[in-house]
Amino acid sequence: MTTETAYRAGPAGNADGAGTWAVLLPAERYEAERLVHHDTLELTGLTDVGRPTSGDRVAVLADAPTRLVALGRVTAPAQRHSEDPDDPQSPVEPGTLVVAYTRRAFDEPVPADLLTLDGPVTALDPAAFRALADRLGPPPARRTWLVSLDLPIEAGTPAEAVRLFWSYVQELGPRELPAFVSPSGDELAMQAFVLGEQANQDPEEDD
C-alpha cells in the first residue's frame, strides 16, 4: 500500500543517475495535449524554477484535482520552435523544458491528490515517482480503429471540396467538429467524440 509519505516531494536524485520530477500542466495546455497527439511536451517560461536535466524522468500532472496523466523523459529542445509555424526558424525560448512521452493516460488519469507540489516543476523522491507510475498499471492493448470526419461541402469541383474540407478542419478542429470512431470490423459500435470525450449526436435522444 502506498503511504502519504511516499507521495511527498523530496530529493530528485536516483540510483541510476536520473532525477525524478513532477510537471504540472496549465489547464489550457492540458486540454491541448488531451485533444491532439504529440510526441513531446514543450513548456516555456521556466527560468525561475528548478530545472530537470536531459534523461530525468517526469510525471506529468493535471490539476483540480491533481491527477497523473502521462510519464516521460526530459530531452533536448529541437532547433526549430515547433509552436511558431509563422516563423519556423525562430530560436527556442529561454527556459524551455521538453519532455518526450513514454506513457500517456489522458483518457484514464490516476489520482495524485496526496502529492504536494511546489509550483509548475517539483522535484520528486524516486519512491514517490515509482508509486505514481505503478498506479498506471500495464498499458492497454493496441488495436486498429477506424476514424472518420464527414462534412457536407458545397463546391464547384471535387478538388475545391477537398480544399474547403481541410480549411474547415484547420479552423474548427477537435473543439467543434465531431469525429466518429469504431473498432475495425465493428462499425456498429461507432461513437462520436467532441472535445476528446464521447458526445451524443442523436438529437432525438436529447428530447
What are the chain's domains? 5-135 (3.10.590), 145-206 (no CATH)
Residues near 88 by Cβ (< 8 Å), separated by ≥ 6?
Answer: 80, 81
Query: What mean pLDDT is predicted for residues 174-200?
Result: 88
Note the pLDDT tens digit of each residue in 1-22: 333 333 444 445 554 558 999 9
Core vs surface per residue 115-129: b (16+ CB within 10 A) or e: bebeebbbbbbbbbb
SS3 readout for the chain: CCCCHHHCECCCCCCCCCCEEEEECCHHHHHHHHHCCCCEEEECCCCCCCCCCCCCEEEEEECCCCEEEEEEEEECCCCCCCCCCCCCCCCCCCCCEEEEEEEECCCCCEECCCCCCCCCEEEECHHHHHHHHHHCCCCCCCCCEEEECCCCCCCCCHHHHHHHHHHHHHHHHHHHCCEEEEECCCHHHCEEEECCEECCCCHHHHC
The predicted model scores a pTM of: 0.76
**Closest by alpha carbon to 68, among 22, 31, 29, 102?**
22
Name the residue with higher pLDDT: 86 or 122. Answer: 122
What is the structure's pLDDT at 15? 44
Contact predicate 100/38, CB 8 Å:
no
Name the residue with higher pLDDT: 25 or 197. Answer: 25
Query: What mean pLDDT is predicted for residues 47-57?
Result: 82
